[in-house]
Structure 1
């Protein structure tokens, strides 16, 4: 599961890291509380030419008449992505990497309160979430590019917080996930090693999708 994230890396730095050409309309401000339906930064590849572009986080299947015609699809389960009508074509041909600094997950205390945790890579590097994307066109012909994060069963360490986790693609595997290195990307759809991620408790202020600012990721 991944339902909220933080992005602090400037687009120019993302573009350099992924050797991708950046679009001109990318979000440039730091965002410590990226929510579903917000625009996220996604790396794609077309015949080896990488592009960093903005997409709506919330995959819209082609048969939706309106963006809210059905469930908000922010995650795609790795176990069923190749079979689900919403995702199967994208899993074969439209894979991308969503770039983030960290993401949030929640546990419940004894009283049922939701305690947020901020999760980052242990090595401090930016996160590259495995994703799939889809163009959706409304009744007026306006196109929206949308995406979802691929998730999988959590590894033993992460299970202390949640039973699911996003698939994180290592730099050596970016070409394979993006379709630049032939077939076999399905093998990447699993949890990373137990020491891949680290986390700390943060303030419950982030429970509100209106909250903002760097204090949201400060340890408490």
Structure 2
């Protein structure tokens, strides 16, 4: 799963990576958590031939998708992750999979090796060769009872590859820059046309660095949470929960 991540690149670096314009200045964020605003990129409106306008646009989205049909958000679970294997059919995500696919820029993400059902050793998981990655995201615009609208989103996950599986059995779906246009093209490509992009990252793409438990607290937002820490003892094997709520989403919080 992906319950915390970081985006520490400059706005210029992020804009160049996503090929978007109009990013306002924003500080590095080392400990992004659900319900906070996150940056996503979506396909822009159709452009006239010869237009020089960028074909992608940035959006600030609340991390935690709320489907349009939800009546009471207080009784609805926090959907910050979506299992990619069934997202195209699941009521909570199928509309967004068809109409509102997005990219989530990140410098890396955090994961916890589980110990007896509790958070164990935290890891900072980043691209081995540095730079940014783009997670596969979904966006849904939720109309609140008062009439105001709120853009909400989730990150798609997949079975972890061998580099990550010893820490957690899920990882975010990473979209290669060569596939950005395909993933974002909701006008001509249906979910089945981009299903091949929903796969684990290649082996050796990520490196996992043990860090201290400072990252456990959302209030800790400085670069020190990414400093290498000591690896705790190996956990005993624990039985994983059955898949009920999407991606066991509340296990970190």
**TM-score scaled to structure 2, two decimals?**
0.81
Q: Which residue of 2 aligns with 1:38?
A: 36
Q: How far apart are the structure 1 equivalents of 2:101 and 2:9?
A: 21
Deviation at 1:29, TM superposition (A): 1.5
Distance, in Å, in 2 between the alignment partners of 1:81 and 1:162 is 20
- SS in structure 2 of the partner of residue 212 of structure 1: coil
Residue aligning to 2:128: 122
Which residue of the partner structure matches residue 105 of structure 2?
99
Matched pairs, number: 218
Tell me, yes or no, if structure 1 residue 204 matches structure 2 residue 213.
yes
Contact 2:210/2:228 (CA < 8 Å) preserved in 1?
yes
Superposition deviation, residue 111 in structure 1: 11
Q: Secondary structure at the match of 1:12?
A: helix
Alpha-carbon contact 1:118-1:217 (below 8 Å) kept: yes
Unaligned 5+ residue runs, structure 2?
A: 48-54, 230-253
Please give the TM-score of this superposition, normalised by the length of structure 1: 0.92
Quickly say closer, same or farther: Cα 1:52–1:154, change in 2 above 3 A. same
1-structure distance, mates of 2:2, 2:212: 18
Match of 1:90 in 2: 96
Asked if structure 2 preserves the Cα contact closer than 8 Å seen for 1:12 and 1:22, the reply is no
CA–CA distance in structure 2, aligned partners of residues 111 and 164 of structure 1: 15
Q: Please provide the CA RMSD for this pair.
A: 2.0
Equivalent residue in structure 2 for 1:190, among 199, 207, 222: 199
Task: Report the CA distance between 1:110 and its aligned residue.
Answer: 8.0
Which of the two has higher C-alpha Rg?
2
> 1:212: Cα distance to partner?
1.5
Greater Cα shift, 147-156 or 183-192 = 183-192
More displaced stretch, 35-44 vs 103-112: 103-112
Secondary structure in 2 aligned to 1:81?
coil
Aligned to 2:22: 22
How many angstroms apart in 2 are the aligned matches of 1:140 and 1:130?
31
SS at match of 2:200: coil
Greater shift in the superposed pair: 154-163 or 59-68? 59-68
Structure 1's 198 and 69: CA in aligned 2 closer, same or farther, altered over 3 A? Answer: same
